[in-house]
Structure 1
Amino acid sequence: MQNFNKKVTRNDVAKLAGTSSAVVSYVINNGPKPVSEKTRRKVLEAIKITGYQPNNIARALVSGKSRCLGLIIPNISNPFIASLAHAIEGEAIDRGFVILLGDSDDREDKELDLLKFFLQRQVDGIIYNAIKDPYLDLLSSSNTPFVLLNHMASLTPGLRVVKINEYQASFDVVKMMIAKGYRKIAIICGPKSMHNTQERIRGWKSALISHGLNPDPALIFYSDYTRNDGYFAALDLIMNAQYDSVFTTNEMQAFGALRAFKERGIKVPDDIGMATFNATELSEFVVPSFAAMFQPVKLVAQHVLNMVLNHEVTDSVYNVPYIVKDGMSLRDH
């Protein structure tokens, strides 16, 4: 039976290896003093036999490094956010860091609590996707390196930001829909108060205007970025608008809208066209597959880690490249 009362210490390893606890420390930390290969093998074998686990908290106190990064995201149930978090965690692990994940659940009070918690834990850096405006004063006063994800407000000098051009990406999706022959393109977007909502609407409007089409305000439907809200926004659209296609600015909204159309006997793409934004591989496996804008999340993760770990970077913005792909949810109209 395992003995939970007896914790293996560095001294236990040293005794089994026939050396000192200081030498065990040198092996674990690769220094600062050299250790012969023969002694090193003895120490590693003793660690294996005893199951010794180094005290990372103590090591962090000595080195000033926790090897932990805080990641604050708005909602892990969003497939795009989940795929991005997964990519960031994988990239961090490859570089010897662990991610502490904080899901704000689209609540600004919880977002602030998570930020304070990570700062109190003295993480080595914070990767921060704010719901609306980030708490920049708190971050800047902490001297903790941080990177902002998808920050849409006016940039303050000295910020490190990884973002997509929401306006241009939205413009390009709607442009693709227009090229297919669609003319009355409705938009199901996010909450009116959010910066990304306004940028995506602005891209939708500009694409229509540049092609001589009218961006009818009656074709704008605000909703939360959820399946449920996408479903009810689509029902509102069905009952109250004249349209030939719909652009959902979030993948979960698209799933909800697709169900609403199916329940009402509206076929995609036979009756209407659909396209979405920030899609994941899920959009390629629904029927019909969605025409959509995709972000390369692995590339995003690499740039995020480069920025948060490179303390010499002061004023840097990385504009994420994106791909607009056709799908079976659109047809030549």
Structure 2
Amino acid sequence: MSTPAGRPVTLADVARRAGTSTAVVSYVMNDGPRPVAPATRERVLAAAAELGYRPNRIARALRSRVTGVVGLVLADALNPYFGALARHVERALAGHGRLMLIGNADYSAERQRHLVERFLAAQVDGLVITAADADDDVAAMARTAGVPAAYLHNGPAAGQTPVVAADNEHAVEEAVAHLRAHGHRDVAFLAGPRDTGPVGRRRQVWRAATGDGGTLLRSGYSRAEADALIRRLAATGDVPRALVAATDEQAIGVLSGACAAGLPVPGRVAVVSLDGSPDSAHTAPALTVTGQPLETMARQAVDLLFTPSASPAAPRAPLIRRRSCGCEEPR
């Protein structure tokens, strides 16, 4: 809000309205460095509310070298999995009194590095990075600048920055075991275009769990590409009877392609996915998933910014039974 003259409301305006000094108003707005009597504090806060005073965050940051803002670099802002992670990061940061800025790397290592550079130039108080390319330890730039950082979901294995990773090992083993409990001996795996990051690790665990008893399939990390893959396989009769999808986006594409090809799920192909994003509960049929503990992961990553010595326990992704694997959904 501005004064009648059109200029922003200042500390001096609040001081005049409250009948006190600008120094006292500053102490109230900044919670120190000197105490203020409760009655005076209430008078200052009431005056600030009446005038619509808003503290100048930029000026405060210049004085304290603390902006109250943390940057979040997302691998893909359009992917519901990363969107859900972002929501939980924002809530965790609010618990620490911080605001969040989001940058979308769009699976580009070059853009990921550019975003980290921009966030550091903006003097953020910390960085959370869902790495688009774990081979590039972009958090090293934050360490050089003295800014705390944490990787979330994915990060360099050999870096010095802490990583709160998704549950890749237990989730895959649980998915394969569950499909075999439904009678499927051969369990296929839908991986990404390349064996990198969490999906590469998931493929390795799947192969160790199945040996030679499963087909490796590949598609891009999109519904459209997985849909097209299933349609091509349907045309040649090569659609597997049971399939673990590395990501929910691919799993949703599998459902779409199977529907278009007239292949019933789970009657002709049983599907389990490894992310557990919010969309997975609302497909047709609903996806059985290993639900990654996104809230816990986000909270652990944010806590590491403010308590670097913390050693969070590795989160587990529980199996959530729905219709796509052959289970009856709970009523």
* Structure 2: distance between partners of 1:147 and 1:135: 11
| Aligned CA-pair RMSD | 2.1
Aligned to 2:202: 200
Do the aligned partners of residues 192 and 331 (structure 1) sit closer, same or farther apart at CA in structure 2, a change above 3 Å counting? same
Deviations 1:42-87 (A, max 9, x none): 2111101110111111111222211111111111211111111101
TM-aligned CA deviation for residue 32 of structure 1: 1.3
Matched, 1:172 2:174: yes
Secondary structure of the 1:303 match is: helix
Deviations 1:214-252 (A, max 9, x none): 245xx3222221111121122233234252122211111
* Structure 1: distance between partners of 2:167 and 2:39: 56
Percent identity between matched residues is: 27
TM-aligned CA deviation for residue 208 of structure 1: 1.2
* Structure 1 residue ranges without an equivalent (≥5): none
Aligned to 1:146: 149
Aligned length: 323
* Structure 1: distance between partners of 2:233 and 2:216: 9
Q: Is the 8 A contact 2:152 2:297 kept in 1?
A: no
* Structure 1: distance between partners of 2:39 and 2:54: 21
* Structure 2: distance between partners of 1:272 and 1:228: 18
Q: Is the 8 A contact 1:74 1:104 kept in 2?
A: yes
Show structure 1 runs of 4+ deviating over 4 A.
1-4
Q: Which amino acid aligns with 1:147?
A: A
* Structure 2: distance between partners of 1:152 and 1:196: 9
* Structure 2: distance between partners of 1:137 and 1:27: 38
* Structure 1: distance between partners of 2:64 and 2:156: 36
Alignment counterpart, residue 330 of structure 1, candidates 319, 325, 328: 325
Q: Is the 8 A contact 2:245 2:272 kept in 1?
A: yes
Deviations 1:259-317 (A, max 9, x none): 11111110001122111111123222222121111012221222112101114x28x56
Deviations 1:177-231 (A, max 9, x none): 112111232222112142222211112111212xxxx245xx3222221111121
* Structure 2: distance between partners of 1:140 and 1:22: 36
* TM-score of the two chains, using structure 1 as the length reference: 0.90
Matched, 1:24 2:25: yes
Matched, 1:288 2:285: yes
Q: Which amino acid aligns with 2:54?
A: Q
Equivalent positions of 1:133-282 (< 5 A) are 133=134, 134-151=137-154, 153-156=156-159, 158-209=160-211, 214-216=212-214, 219-240=215-236, 241=238, 243-282=240-279
